[in-house]
Homo-oligomer: A and B are copies of this chain.
């Protein structure tokens, strides 16, 4: 096991009927909230009204900043920063999925900053201070509710980059599985694919072979994400299934899976970010395409670990090829695309995608990932 620091200060409030607690949790942090959300769904479901009431009941003034898209964009973040400054917001409230929480984090970092918020994503400047964030989660997927990362797309440059800083942990995140009952089957499966990919990035890229506690934990998470996703697809209102999927997705990227693994990397995300940046495909759908291809490409280097995952997760005989196929087959069974064609991306675009991904590989210091190598992996997305 490698040396590590684990320090995750986010307070998780989990369960049925917990959304109104956003009121007191936010009131403890500020008096003027910028409320971030997506499109129409939280208006239709009544959640927006519930949150507005809870905030009003605790004396928190609210300015709204809706309209977050999936693959949230920099221009919308900048509008939010301007609004936060103009309204002197002292707390950011996110109500939605990972895109909404990521937008909230970018605004929280950008509003009090001197320089431009995008500089945090290109590592040109570091976050020095940030507004506090509270969140009500409506999608089991990204883990943003209990980590310090945010991913934003700069539409002008077609760069989908990330920023991580410990000031960006939400102070409180509220996770009510019932709020995910209305998530349609495709996005339920994409969320599961995202969570599985998070675990696999750590699982596959650590060079430490002696991390048995973490390996066991990660295998258990993947098993549970798969099993709970299947329950949710069979019955969207299966509370136990939604709850297990939600909690497992949170645990998949809250720092526990990677603690002690030493240097790890996110090469599958690095490649997927380009698919989202260039074609605006849902992140989880892009990952369902990239993950099996990356595993197939990786197979000669680490067949034992891939085989172990197949054994522990799918109950297969130890066989790396079968393990890759099993995961790809499972993604496909849940309705995820597993090829570039399934994402409606022409194979002729591979060099362009690889060039875009390579820009992120440089920022993330994934030195091994040359454009040629990325093209090779993308060539396996068929």
Chain A interface (Cβ within 8 Å of chain B)?
A: 1-18, 177, 210-213, 216-217, 219-221, 223-224, 227-228, 239-240, 243-244, 247-248, 251, 256, 259-260
Contacts and interface: CB of A to CB of B under 8 A. Distances in A.
A212 B244 contact: yes
Protomer copies: 2
Contacts of A227: 212
Nearest to A242: B1
Nearest to A11: B7
Query: Chain A at the B interface: mostly helix, strand, loop or mixed?
Result: mixed
A223 B228 contact: no
A63 B10 CA distance: 34
A216 B212 contact: no
A14 B18 CA distance: 34
Contacts of A7: 10-12
Nearest to A238: B210
Contacts of A15: 1-4
A195 to B, nearest CB: 12
A277 B175 CA distance: 42
A22 to B, nearest CB: 14
A1 B260 contact: no
Contact of A259 (B11, B14, B211, B240): B14
Most buried by B among A6, A12, A221, A227: A6
27 contacts: A1-B14, A1-B15, A1-B177, A3-B16, A3-B18, A4-B15, A5-B11, A5-B13, A6-B11, A6-B12, A6-B14, A8-B8, A12-B259, A14-B260, A210-B240, A211-B244, A212-B240, A213-B220, A213-B221, A213-B224, A213-B244, A213-B251, A216-B223, A217-B217, A217-B220, A243-B260, A256-B256
